[in-house]
Amino acid sequence: MSKRLGWFLAGGLLVALLLAGVASSFASGSPDGLDYTAREGCTFNAEGEITGGTCMAQQEGDHQLSGSPLADYGIKGIDNEFLSTGLSGVLGVLITFGIGGGVFWLARRRGRSTAGTTEAGN
């Protein structure tokens, strides 16, 4: 890997970590398009609980991983919401970068072994 590519990847990772750690805490808490559509047709009280009507949201239940350490855009056990959300974003970026880097490393390694076998066979 060239130095230039290494600096590019390091810079991209740094920007992603900053965005995940800082900007994620300022994300809107309003329902997104899917939530809005699922709630259409129902009436809600001030706490956001369904009080009447008919909508898809009445059928929703807890996610299978709702008790996991990274559920609900935060880290379980950290009471500071800003810190919990930021660390969750940073951890998500690192996990994604690690998995993506591993897949590309394996694909590159496999490409080299396949190319070497093809060249030797000719």
CB atoms within 10 A of CB 88: 23
Is residue 58 included in any domain, yes or no?
yes
pLDDT digits (tens, 9 = 90+) for 40-62: 999 999 988 899 999 998 988 88
pLDDT digits (tens, 9 = 90+) for 11-51: 999 999 999 988 887 877 776 888 889 999 999 999 888 99
Q: Which domain holds residue 97?
A: 20-121
Is residue 1 included in any domain, yes or no?
no
Percent of the chain past pLDDT 70, that is, above it, reads: 92
Question: How far, rounded to the nearest angstrom, does the alpha carbon of residue 34 sit from its chain's CA centroid?
Answer: 17
pTM of the complete model beyond 0.75 = no
105, pLDDT greater than 80: yes
Show the tokens assigned to 109: 């390694």
Is residue 4 included in any domain, yes or no?
no
Is residue 88 included in any domain, yes or no?
yes
**Number of domains comprising the chain:** 1
What pLDDT does 115 receive?
65
